Structure 1
Amino acid sequence: MKNTLLQRLTLAGGLFALLTQACLAAGTGWPREINTEHGSITLAHAPERIVSTSVTVTGTLLAIDAPVIASGATSPNSRIADAQGFFRQWGQIAAERKVQRLYIGEPNAEAIAGEAPDLIIISATGGDSALKLYDQLSAIAPVLVVNYDDKSWQELARQLGVATGHEAQAAAVVKQFDERVKQLKTQLTLPAQPVSAMVYRPDGKAANLWTSASPQGQLLHELGFTLATVPDNFHGSQSQGVRKDIVQLSGENMAEGLNGNTLMLFSGDDGDTQRLMENHFLAHLPAVQHKQVYALGNDTFRLDYYSASNLLTRLDTLFTSH
């Protein structure tokens, strides 16, 4: 079954790469037609005023130097966000490029219209999705719907590169990152495998387990890690809807789902590691007993070029000899 899943993922990745190459070949001029998660749109010219309703997608737009002028935001002054509500890993870059904050949390069509965008980008899933406003936003400007919960930030960057005319910038930043991944893979001394890659809730009562479809899971796989899989009869919560990138663990099933020999805490710091180690409901786990629990940084909840680069630095620190 594992081999079949791996084959399917490999085939899906290959098909996506072929489709991307076809788009790149066809997308050398304007106007161009872009296929989205919500149908196709036609862009008459390269966008000059992009509004991102997804704070997750904004980081990738910045990485490919797309002309994003405004973005939705999350709750400010948190472990993951700065005073603007922008993610800390790219907040300073957004400030330097004078990216405006549209709103915090709930999408606001009036605020979006006020920026006079020529392209609006929204996410298909996730807490920062503005899909419910699709019809309203389509009356303002072309709306590009993207999905980030089933692909790496590199794949998303290529997709956004085609839509914005920044194919070359996307290719360059992806190549630079991928070369770093290949180099780091040769230097890593992996911890006990397989690993449970997760986000551990501060109250210790729940966790989200990254799957092989998640950007986090895909990056770990590229680096040589093996993801632990939950038992076949395991049923996680679906309070966040049906998602491909996570398995929700809570209550009694949390310990059952954390069956890796190493626990890797995304969106976590050393304080979270300590709290997990002290959770008596998890004390029997082999990873806890052998102190194989590692925090990978607060900015790894969503991976873009900036947070993924920081993640590589953290893994280098933890699992290579210097």
Structure 2
Amino acid sequence: MTSFERDRPGGLRRPRAVALVAVALVLAACGGPEPAATEPETRTVSHPLGEVQVPGEPASILATDEYAALNLLALGVEPAVVYGSFGSEVGRVVLEDAGITVVPGATFSESPPIEEIIGHAPDMIVMTGGAEMQETYDALSPVAPVVAVPYYDTTWQESLTAAGAAVARTDRAESMIRTLEGRIGAVQAASEPGPTSLSVVAETYGDCCFSAARGTPLSTILQAAGFTRPAAQDIDATYGELSVLPISPEQLGAHDADLVIVPDGEYYSADAVRAQPVFRSLPAVRDGRVLQVDGDLWFGNFAFAVHWIATDLEAVAQDGAAATVGVPGDATARWEQFRADVGG
């Protein structure tokens, strides 16, 4: 197993849940209660794993991860239960502030807790991912209708549009997209005389480093905000099926810029990047032009993450390496500002 195959969000995390199919089959065989005389209204939702009939007005939505839940909450829909599959501190704080239960300890590397999920009695399940989540989808489908929201190797606009379609909030999703695109574009107006080129260097569980390849959500946001990247990062690259740009220690010298961004967080270690001798020799690093950001948000592909990045970039455009960027302790205030900006 290579380090890139381990769990992590933002284009590196590859969920490989081992579905409890036997439990799901038993559930399906047992059947449910006798159907009511009048069938409830349903609607059809298309998603990366197929097509499903969901309740027209679901009473209890279960989200298998915080990122799916944050998109739902931004769209004005409160999930009843959320699993903390991504281990996001920011996500946990925002959701718990909203009075939503976040169940700890369930990660994407584990089997979905089918019997536990049955106990929550959801009438709809929303999950993050696509083909890599097929086994989990198959295991959960007998419990309740499941909608998968694309996340890996898709644009943030497409992901948000899909989340809106899942809960019949397409107009709301379109409005948020327009607002967030405007928020990103406004960063350009604040960019003088700030840095013009940004290099993003993150760690990969001991295999040195990586960056976001061209076309990934982070790369498109940086471009739309008016920043350039080092030539070594402005390329199409893949690792397996992912749009990821691996960087070996010997290649780090080509990743200098006006400002070097180093992500840190649950799945990212800024210390591991800073420990690389070649990294320490970069002119920007020697001059102190390095800024540490929240990697779980910077590599996120959901509406709140987009707003978080844009807010950080506005500070970067104005103050460079002296910018004050978001940390997990800012979760509540950042969420309130996000809701105010998008009209939630």
- TM-score, with structure 1 as normaliser: 0.70
Q: Matched residues in 2 for 1:212 and 1:72: separation? A: 31
In 2, are the aligned partners of 1:149 and 1:213 still within 8 Å (CA)?
no
Q: Which residue of 2 aligns with 1:92?
A: 94
Aligned partner of 1:123 in structure 2 is 128
Match for residue 25 of structure 1? Answer: none
CA distance in 2, matches of 1:264, 1:130: 31
- In structure 1, give the amino acid aligned to 2:123: D
1:165 maps to which of 158, 165, 168 = 168
Cα pair 1:50 1:119 within 8 Å, conserved: yes
How far apart are the structure 1 equivalents of 2:295 and 2:82? 21
Percent of aligned pairs with the same amino acid: 21
Cα 1:89–1:123 change in 2 (3 A) is: closer
Alignment of 1:102-113 (within 5 A): 103-105=105-107, 106=110, 107-113=112-118
Instruction: Quote the residue 1:188 is aligned against.
Output: 191
Q: Could you tell me how far apart the structure 1 residues matched to 2:233 and 2:56 are?
A: 50
Distance 2:96 2:311 in 1: 22
Aligned to 2:279: 282
Higher relative contact order (CA 8 A, sep 6+): 2
Q: CA deviation at 1:117?
A: 1.7
1:143-182 equivalence runs, <5 A = 143-182=146-185
Question: 2:292 matched to 1:295?
Answer: yes
User: How many aligned residue pairs are there?
Assistant: 274
Contact kept? 2:61, 2:122, Cα under 8 Å? yes
User: How far is the alpha carbon of 1:125 from its aligned partner?
Assistant: 5.5
Are the structure 2 counterparts of residues 114 and 186 from structure 1 closer, same or farther at C-alpha, using a change threshold of 3 Å?
A: same
Shift of 1:231: 8.4
Structure 2 residue identity aligned to 1:319: A
- Closer, same or farther in 2 for the Cα pair 1:147/1:208, shift >3 Å? farther
Question: Do residues 57 (structure 1) and 64 (structure 2) align?
Answer: no
User: 1:290 and 1:234 mapped to 2: Cα distance?
Assistant: 30
The residue that corresponds to 1:24 in the other structure is none
Structure 2 residue aligned with 1:82: none
Partner of 1:12: none
Once residues 291 and 277 of structure 1 are traced to their aligned partners in structure 2, the CA distance between those partners, rounded to angstroms, is 12
Q: Which residue of 2 aligns with 1:136?
A: 139
Alignment CA distance shift 1:155-1:234 (3 Å): closer
- The 1:259–1:97 alpha-carbon spacing in structure 2 relative to 1, beyond 3 Å, is same
> How far 1:65 sits from its partner (Å)?
1.8
Give the Å deviation of 1:209.
0.9
Question: Do structure 1's residue 242 and structure 2's residue 241 form an aligned pair?
Answer: yes
1:211 to 213, 221, 225: 213
- Cα pair 1:192 1:292 within 8 Å, conserved: no
SS in 2 for 1:114: helix
Secondary structure of residue in 1 paired with 2:309: helix
Tell me what 2:22 maps to. none
Q: Which sits farther off after the overlay, 30-39 or 259-268?
A: 259-268
Alpha carbons of 1:183 and 1:233: their partners in 2 closer, same or farther (altered >3 Å)? closer
TM-score of the superposed pair, with normalisation by structure 2? 0.66
3-state SS of paired residue (1:263) = strand
Q: Matched residues in 2 for 1:94 and 1:33: separation?
A: 30
Q: CA deviation at 1:164?
A: 0.3
Q: CA RMSD in A?
A: 3.6
How many angstroms apart in 1 are the aligned matches of 2:235 and 2:56? 51
Bigger CA drift: 132-141 or 252-261? 252-261
Q: Is residue 2:307 matched to residue 1:304? A: no
Structure 2: which 5+ runs fail to align?
1-40, 324-344
Gaps of 5+ in 1: 1-29, 76-84
What one-letter code is carried by the residue in structure 2 that aligns with 1:307? A
Tell me the SS of whatever aligns to 1:228: coil
Q: Give, as a single letter, the amino acid of the residue that structure 2 aligns with 1:98.
A: I
Cα distance change on mapping 1:311 and 1:50 into 2, 3 Å: same
**Structure 1 57/283 Cα, relative in aligned 2: closer, same or farther at 3 Å?**
same
Shift of 1:220: 0.9
Displacement of 1:148 in angstroms is 1.0
Q: In structure 2, what is the Cα distance between the partners aligned to 1:51 and 1:233? A: 38
The secondary structure found in structure 1 opposite 2:202 is strand
Contact kept in structure 2, 1:212 and 1:218, CA below 8 Å: yes
Inter-partner Cα distance in structure 2 for 1:219 and 1:138: 35
Aligned to 2:119: 114
The CA deviation at 1:161 is 0.9
Contact residue 62 and residue 94 of structure 1 kept, 8 A? no
Give the secondary-structure state (helix, strand or coil) at the position aligned to 2:201: strand
Distance 1:61 1:113, change over 3 A: same
- Within 1, Cα distance between the matches of 2:175 and 2:234? 41
